[in-house]
Amino acid sequence: MEPVSVKAILQSPHGVLFVKNPRGEWELPGGRPEAGEGLEAALAREVEEECGLTITSACYLDSQSCEIIPGRRVLLVFFRCEYTGHAMRLSEEHTDYRWVDLAGEQPTRLPDFYWQACSAAMNRTLAIPASPMQTLDYPLPTGECDRRRLQLMAAIYDPATTEFLLRHLPSEGRILEIGCGHGQIARWMAERSPKAKVLGLDSSPAQIAVAKASEGSANLDFRVGDITRWAEEHRFDLIVCRFVLLHLQERAAVLQSLLVLLGSTGTLVIEEPSLSSLFCVPRVPAFEQANAAILAYGRLHGLDYDCAAALWEMLAGLKVEIQEARFSQPTVWSEEHKQVVRLSFQAFSSRLVEAGVLEPAQVAQIVASLVRDYESPAVISSGLRTLQIAVTPRSGRS
């Protein structure tokens, strides 16, 4: 996988800020995230270290795989940034800086990919407005930090998802997946429908950076966006919303937003889980305790993670035709796949302690028991039971 480097596009009345590296080339400020560091945090740290400027907001623009030097490619993740401070404090990493007027000529030794990215940023009307950088209230990690857990989730749940989707996948047209994460389902749809244009949308720049780092089809694109604030002129022939609504309080409003984006003959496919549906044989108390703690955390934050029943009732009140509905629940028996329970619990654990749901010692005991008892070859388990629904506008096909 290509290394990731975050890059800041900072504008002043004199132009966009570039710094000169030891190779004598002009580049945008930024650098690589440290282990466990988010993209926005890395961006703020690098700009402070390299330029002495403080980032106050950052809006994700695009990611590009670029050959920085011959034979070495890096995934550049571009952000358009607001900042404070005007006295440049150049670090030892660079030898000079310059504010470049993009309306003028491209300076020598300024790579085309930087020039083109900045020009596109200045000429682009963003559908997603820039907002102050803040930690999203999403309880799980994102980006590289969550790669292993999401790989296991995909291995367990993707087969049933793709089987259901296959009956509703258009051969051409426009397809949207919201909350696309690392992009496995969007990538699968692009491969299965090469004449269609597939867009994966996620509110997390870290998720999109991972999605873009993997090879994809020419008909596939990934973008950062919030569906409740997202403007799209064209309508979609298929919209996929999977494992997203359980994390949201305003579920009905999101469903309405999706239906607005759906074409008159398009299909909306939704898949959401019931967290109380998990069980294992023989019974392992730590398995039940981990799940109960996550459910309690959701209730404290106004979220019912058992959203299948509420989802069905919401759809019954909307102007839609239900084309297909079913429950799906995979079997989890391999030691590798059973790790997903522990990884999910550990991802939640700091939130559980902060919220007072569990004490640190209880977290440690549950994790130890999950490894020793639940992940034993003697235990077989269910995965989450999910409700899969395909709906069309009532005025569409019946």
* Cis amide bond preceding 360, omega within 30: no
Q: Phi/psi of residue 60, each to 5°?
A: -60, 135
Tens of pLDDT, residue by residue over 129-167, are 333 333 336 778 788 878 899 999 999 999 999 999 999
Please answer whether residues 216 and 224 qualify as being in contact, where contact means their C-beta atoms are separated by less than 8 angstroms: no
CB-based contact 382:279 (threshold 8 Å): yes
**Residue 179, phi then psi, degrees to nearest 5:** 60, 45
**Residue in the structure block whose two tokens are 């494992």:** 243
Q: At what angle do helices 147-166 and 184-192 cross, to 10 degrees?
A: 40
Task: Catalogue all structural domains in the chain, each as residue range(s) with its CATH number.
Answer: 4-123 (3.90.79.10), 143-393 (3.40.50.150)
* Global confidence as pTM: 0.68
Residue 62 has what pLDDT?
A: 72
Strand intervals (E) in the chain: 4-12, 15-20, 26-27, 30-31, 54-69, 72-84, 96-100, 172-178, 195-202, 220-224, 236-242, 262-274, 280-281, 320-328, 331-332, 380-382, 385-393
Give the list of residues 6+ apart from residue 361 with CB closer than 8 angstroms, or none: none
Please list the ranges in the chain whose pLDDT falls under 70. Answer: 1, 86-87, 122-137, 227-233, 395-398
How far is the CA of 221 from the CAs of 9, 64, 174, 208, in angstroms? 22, 12, 11, 10
Cβ 18 vs Cβ 100: under 8 Å: yes
Q: What is the pLDDT of residue 395?
A: 64
Q: What is the pLDDT of residue 40?
A: 85
pLDDT reported for residue 123: 59
- 221 vs 180: CA distance, rounded Å: 11
- Structure tokens given for 380: 């077989």
